[in-house]
Amino acid sequence: MKPELAARLKRAAGANGFSEDPAEIAPHLEEWRSKYKGKSPLLLKPATTHEVSAILAICNDTNTAVVPQGGNTGLVGGQIPFDGEILLSLSRMKRVRALDRAAQTISVEAGVILIDVQRAAESADLLFPLSLAAEGSATIGGNLSTNAGGVNVLRYGMARDLVLGLEVVLADGRVLDLQRALRKDNSGYDLKQLFVGSEGTLGVITAATLKLFPRPAVRVTAFVAVPSPDDAVKLLSHMQAQTGGQLSAFELVPRIGIELVAAHIPGARDPLSAGSPWYVLLEAAGVEQLDLNRSVETSLATAMQSGMATDAVIASNETQRSALWALRENLSEAQKSEGASIKHDVSVPISAIPSFLQRATAAVLAVVPGARPVSFGHIGDGNIHFNFSAPKDRSPDAFLAHWDEIQRIVHDIVHEFGGSISAEHGIGVQKRDQLPRYKSALEMELMRTLKRALDPKNILNPGKVIAL
C-alpha cells in the first residue's frame, strides 16, 4: 500500500481508529477453527457511520479492496482478508441508539455484541430472541450480514426476520438510511433485505432497528432420550401440537455428542441414567397464565408411552436449565478438542431429516471408514450440522484430505432432498465455487447483476459469495 493512501485512510478512521501493529491485527486474520488465515497491512476501526463512509469513499476512489469484519466468529472464511485487503472492523461502533418499549424495538450499531443486545432488551423486560453459541463475541453487524440462525429460529425466524430497518454504507461511501421502525411498509422494493445475508459484498451494515418481543414469564426446558431421528421428528410434531405452538427450540444431539462434551468440557455430565443413541433438547416458553410445565410433562409422558421417547428430564430451576443447554452449546468446542473434523451446515425439509442422515452418513463412511458422525443441530427448522470427527486410527491430515470429496458428496445429497448447502453460516469463500452447482444459471446471473450494480469496482469483500 502506498504511504499516501494509508495516511488518507488513517485520517478518515480517526486518531484511535487504525492499527498497523501485526500483533493487534493477527487475531483478525484467523477464524475460530484455524481453517482460514489471511493477511492485511492495515486494520481500520471507525467509531461512527461518518468515518465508515469516508473510508469507503476513499477505497472506492482508489480501487482499494476492503473486508468488513464483525466479531470474527464466521466459519466459512467470509470475514478473512486473503489477499492483503484493508480490514474494516466495526467493533468500536457499539452504541445502543434507542430502545422503544411500547413499540418493542431497539436500534443498535453494528459493533454491539449480540449478548449485549439481549441484555438491553431484558432491562426493559423484553426479549431479543436471536441466540447462538458465539453470542458472547458475535456482533449484530456480523449476525445480519450472514443472516444468522441459532436455536430460536423455530419460533422467531432467522436474523432477517428480526430486522425492521438498516443503516448501510454503500461501496462508494454514500449512506443508505433505511432505519424505519415500521412493522408494515409496502412502499416498493424491500431494499434492506438485499444486505441481510450478503456477507458484506453489497454494502457495510452500520446500524439496525430490530424487533423485540414480550419476555417469556415461563420457560420449560427438557432433555429427552429418543430412539432415532425419525422419532425426534415425530416428537417435534407431537410437542408443537400439545403445547399450542409454544416451542422455541428443538435441538437434536447424538450420543457421541454427549460423550465428547462430558470428556472435554469441565463439569458437564449426562443428565440421564441410561444412554440413548439420540437426544432432543427442547424448550417451550410462554406467559404465566399458561401451565407449560404440566403441558410439557403430559406431552412427554404420552410420547414415552407411544415409544417416541424413552426417558426425559425437565429442568426445575435456572441452574439445571443452563446445565442442559451447556450440553448443546459446548458441542462444537468439544468436537474441536477431539481433533480434526469435517463439517457441513445444511438444511433439508424437516420430514426428510431421518432419510438424509441415514443416506449421507452411509455415503461418507464409504469414503472414510471409521469416521465418527457427530450430526446435531436445529431439527425444529431443518438445519443439521452434519459433522464428522476423524477416525481414531487415521492421521488428521489424511482425514482432512477428503474434505472436498466429502463435501461434494454431502451437498449433492442435500440438493437431491431439496435442501440448501448453507443453512445459517453463509457462503464466504468455502462454498463460493460450489454455489453455481446448486443454484440455477438465472439465480447466479441475478446475484452477479446485483453485485455489479451496488459495487461496480468490486471493492467490498471481493471473492466472497460469488466470483465475478
pLDDT digits (tens, 9 = 90+) for 306-354: 999 999 999 999 999 999 999 999 999 999 999 999 999 999 999 999 9
CATH number of the domain at 381, please.
3.30.70.2740
- Whether 40 is covered by a domain: the verdict is no
- Whether 253 is covered by a domain: the verdict is yes
- Whether 366 is covered by a domain: the verdict is yes
255-303 pLDDT, tens digit each: 999 999 999 999 999 999 999 999 999 999 987 766 888 999 999 999 9
Going by C-alpha positions, the residue among 47, 140, 82 that lies closest to residue 430 is 82
CB 155 within 8 A of CB 251: no
All 3 cell numbers of residue 387?
A: 459433522
Range of the domain at 200: 96-214
Listed in order, strand segments (DSSP E) in 52-195 are 66-69, 86-89, 96-100, 105-109, 126-127, 163-169, 175-178
- Same structural domain for residues 122 and 191? yes
Give the integer Cα–Cα distance in Å for 117 and 125. 13
- Same structural domain for residues 109 and 170? yes
CATH number of the domain at 120, please.
3.30.465.10
- Same structural domain for residues 141 and 168? yes
360: helix, strand or coil: helix
All 3 cell numbers of residue 89?
A: 472492523
CATH number of the domain at 257, please.
3.30.70.2190
Residue 48 CB partners (closer than 8 Å, separation 6+) = 93
Domain total for the chain?
A: 3
- Whether 364 is covered by a domain: the verdict is yes
Give the pLDDT score at 33. Answer: 81
- Same structural domain for residues 128 and 177? yes
Specify the DSSP element, H or E, that contains 292.
helix 292-306
- Same structural domain for residues 241 and 321? yes
- Same structural domain for residues 124 and 222? no
- Same structural domain for residues 282 and 353? no
- Same structural domain for residues 186 and 266? no
- Whether 431 is covered by a domain: the verdict is no
165-206 pLDDT, tens digit each: 999 999 999 999 999 999 999 999 999 999 999 999 999 999
- Same structural domain for residues 285 and 374? no
Among 306, 332, 358, the domain-final residue is 332
- Whether 42 is covered by a domain: the verdict is no
The reported pTM is 0.93
Buried b / exposed e across 415-444, counting CB within 10 Å, b at 16+? bebebbbbbbbbbbbbbbebbeebbeeeee
72-108 pLDDT, tens digit each: 999 999 999 999 999 999 999 999 999 999 999 999 9
Give the integer Cα–Cα distance in Å for 453 and 449. 6
- Give the CA diameter of the chain: 74
366-385 pLDDT, tens digit each: 999 999 999 999 999 999 99
- What letter would DSSP give residue 139? B
- Whether 75 is covered by a domain: the verdict is no
Give the pLDDT score at 289. Answer: 60
Residue 245 CB partners (closer than 8 Å, separation 6+) = 155
